Homo-oligomer: A and B are copies of this chain.
Amino acid sequence: MSPAAPRRGRRPGAPDTRAAILAAASERFAAQGYAGTSVRSIATAAGVDAALVHHYFGTKDDLFVAALQLPVDPRERLAAVIANGPEGAGEQMLRVFLSVWDDPELQLPLIGLARSILEPSGQRLLRDGFLPAVLLPVGVALGIDRPDVRMPLVASQVIGLIVTRYLLAVEPLASMPAEDLVVVYGPTIQRYLTGPLP
């Protein structure tokens, strides 16, 4: 992978440069955490200019999501929920979440990702990267009060559901229809989003 400066014009995709940036980003985020990694340091590691990183990947949040290699971008999937505002967002977020995790094409990569992110080496990426860069902005965009408290509460139930239904396959959760899970967990997520806080 040669980190050549792509000055020669727009080669479609410029796969070497993109791949070099992405590899550098994955390495830096894993080693230094999200907050401790600058776009500049990733650019340096990839042998390119910081402006080029932004050109290819957008913001640092976008680059982080790209480096996670999520099979879907949660921010994209949740756009419609966000547009509808906080009322009913609990059930709607849950339906989006389940439609992604129950998709046979996505489930295995997601389970693999969840396993790696729950390992000690991945835990900082989840805490210092995924939560502030992906989950918190969803709460901010929803317009709820105290998203810094509420979104971690949401995460605590969603992570517990991922562990029990998908990783451990605890019955009856593992084979419960999505709509039953919405009945059970929807009010929980909604209360965390808009209910009383201490």
Contacts and interface: CB of A to CB of B under 8 A. Distances in A.
A184 B156 CA distance: 11
A70 interface: no
A123 B168 CA distance: 6
Q: Summarize A's interface: helix, strand, loop or mixed.
A: helix
Interface string A161-180: 10111011111110000011
Contacts of A153: 173, 184
Taken together, the copies of this chain in the complex come to 2
A127 B172 contact: no
A168 B126 CA distance: 8
Interface residues of A, number: 40
Nearest to A187: B191
A183 B161 CA distance: 21
A144 interface: no
A98 interface: no
A170 B127 CA distance: 6
A89 B166 CA distance: 27
B173 A197 contact: no
A173 to B, nearest CB: 5
Interface of A: 115, 118-120, 123, 126-127, 131, 148-149, 152-153, 155-161, 163-165, 167-173, 179-180, 183-184, 187-188, 191-192, 196-198
Given A179-B198, A184-B197, 6 more contacts: A118-B167, A155-B170, A156-B157, A156-B160, A157-B157, A159-B164
5 contacts: A126-B168, A153-B184, A156-B160, A160-B161, A180-B198
